[in-house]
Structure 1
C-alpha cells in the first residue's frame, strides 16, 4: 500500500489504493489481461473502480500480497459481501472460499436473513451447510422472532427454516412411544413453539410432560 513503490493507483469513491501491477498480474487472470496488451489499464497509472468500496478493495489487495484474509474484526455483512464480489470479479477462487468460510463463522440471529440471501443467491453450498447447522443450534432463539421476521428469514433461506422446523417436530415425535393416549382414549399431539408439550403413556388424566427444546438431541446426534 506504499504509493512511492507502486505503479498503479485504484481510485474508488474518492480514495486511492496503490498497488504493484506485477503482483496483481501474478495472482489474477483478470488483472493479467487488464495490464497486458491493448487494454487501457495497461498504460494508465490510475484506474477508476465503480462497483465496490475502498475498504473492500484493500482487503482484496492485502490478500493478493499475503494470501491472508484480514477483516480487522469487521463483521458487517455488506462489507464481507463486497469482498466476495471482488473475489468473484477478479477470479480469486481461494479468496472466495475463505470469504465464504468467514461468512459462515459470523452468522447470527440478526443477520441470518442477509447471509441466507447471499448463500442461495450465489449457490454457495458450504455456506448453505453452515446455515443449516446454525438453525439447528439456535432453533429456540430463531423461533422467538416475530412471524413477519421468520417469514423473511425463511424466504431468504429458500424455505430452509420450514424444512428444519418440520424435521425438529419429527424428532420430537420420535422421542416418545406413538401413539399416546389419555385415559379417555383420545390420541393427543400438542406442540408449542419455544417449549414443546407432549402427552406420555400411563399418565393421569390431563398430565403432560414438558420438554425444553434445549434438551432435545440435535439432528447430528440422532
Structure 2
C-alpha cells in the first residue's frame, strides 16, 4: 500500500504546474478550506472546485448532508472542516482529487495494480465523476492483453464501462483462437468475467457445423462454459470440435 501512495504523490509532483495552475492548490493545506481524512492521512482540498466537478460533493457541502442522512462512507466534523472518508485508500483518494483538479489521470502508463484501479473506480462511481470513469476505461483498454482480460472484464461490467466493453468484444474476436487454447478453468473464468461474451462467440461455430443446437447460457457468477452444448442430444466440449 505504501508504494501506491508514493506513486500517487510522484505523479502529482511531476504534473506541469504551468499547464495545470490548479496544482498550486493541490495538497496545499494553507490554500484549502476542507480536509478529508482517510485511514488517518489528511488530504486537503478546495470546496468550490469539488462542488464544480461533482454533484455529490456539492450536496455534501450544502449544509444538508447530515440532515438528509448523508452517506455511511463519510462522517463530517463541521467544527474543523474535516470529513472522514471510509471504505477507500489514501492513494486512491489522491488520484481522484488529482483528476478533479487537472482532468489528468495520475496512473503510470503500465499500471496494472487492479486493486488500486478498482479503488479509484469505486470512488469515481460513488462521487459521480463520469469523466474519471471514462479516463480509467481508456487506461484499461491500453493494458488489455490475454493475461489481463479477466480482471479488466470484471471491472468493465461491474462499472458498466461501455466503451471498454465494446473493446473487449473486438479483442475476443481478434484473439479467439488463443482464448480457446487456454485451460478449461481459465477460459470459464474469463467467460464469467466478460458476461458470457466468449460463449456468445462460440455459438455461431456450433451452428455452422450442426443444424440443431440446444443450449443454456451459463450464469455469470456460476458458469461452466464446457459441456453445456447439446447437439442432437449429445454433449460436446467446445475445444474438442
- TM-score computed with the length of structure 1 as normaliser: 0.69
Counterpart CA distance in 2 for 1:96 and 1:123 is 10
Tell me the distance in 2 between the aligned counterparts of 1:110 and 1:14.
36
1:13 to 20, 31, 39: 39
User: What pairs up with 1:24-103 in 2 under 5 angstroms?
Assistant: 24-39=50-65, 41=76, 43=78, 44-73=80-109, 74-103=111-140
Distance of 1:54 and 1:167 partners within structure 2? 47
What is the alpha-carbon distance in structure 2 between the residues aligned to residue 63 and residue 169 of structure 1? 47
CA change 1:162–1:30 in 2 (3 A) is same
Count of paired positions: 177
SS of 2:133's equivalent in the other structure is: helix
Moved more, 141-150 or 55-64: 141-150
1 or 2 for the larger relative contact order (CA 8 Å, sep ≥6)? 2
Determine the C-alpha separation between the residues in 2 that align with 1:14 and 1:144: 48
Q: Deviations over 1:85-129 (max 9, x none)?
A: 211111112222222222222222222122222222333322211
2:175 to 113, 119, 138: 138
Structure 1 CA distance for aligned equivalents of residues 162 and 54 of structure 2: 24
Once the two structures are superposed, residues 115-151 of structure 1 have per-residue CA deviations (whole angstroms, 9 ceiling, x without a partner) of 2222223333222111111212223332332111111
Alpha-carbon distance between aligned partners in 1 of 2:105 and 2:168, rounded to the nearest angstrom = 21
* Whole-angstrom distance in 1 between the partners of 2:123 and 2:46: 17
Quick check: 126-135 or 111-120, which moved more? Answer: 111-120
Match of 1:161 among 189, 198, 204: 198
Partner residue of 1:22? 48
The DSSP-based 3-state class of the residue aligned with 1:108 is coil
- Retained in 1: the 8 A contact 2:154–2:193? yes
For 1:160 and 1:36, locate their aligned partners in 2 and report how far apart those are by CA, in whole Å.
Answer: 44
Deviation at 1:70, TM superposition (A): 2.2
- Alpha-carbon distance change, 139 to 63 in structure 1, aligned in 2, over 3 angstroms: same
Q: Distance in 1 between matches of 2:148 and 2:137?
A: 15
Correspondence list, 1:123-202, <5 A: 123-167=160-204
Change in Cα spacing, 1:168 to 1:61, as seen in structure 2 (3 Å) is farther
Q: Once superposed, what is the RMSD of the aligned Cα atoms?
A: 2.7
TM-score normalised by length of structure 2:
0.64
Contact map agreement 1:100 1:127 (CA 8 A) in 2: yes
Using the alignment, how far apart are the partners of 1:122 and 1:26 within structure 2?
A: 23
C-alpha distance in 2 between matches for 1:170 and 1:68: 47
Helix, strand or coil for the counterpart of 1:72? coil
- 1:114 paired with 2:151, answer yes
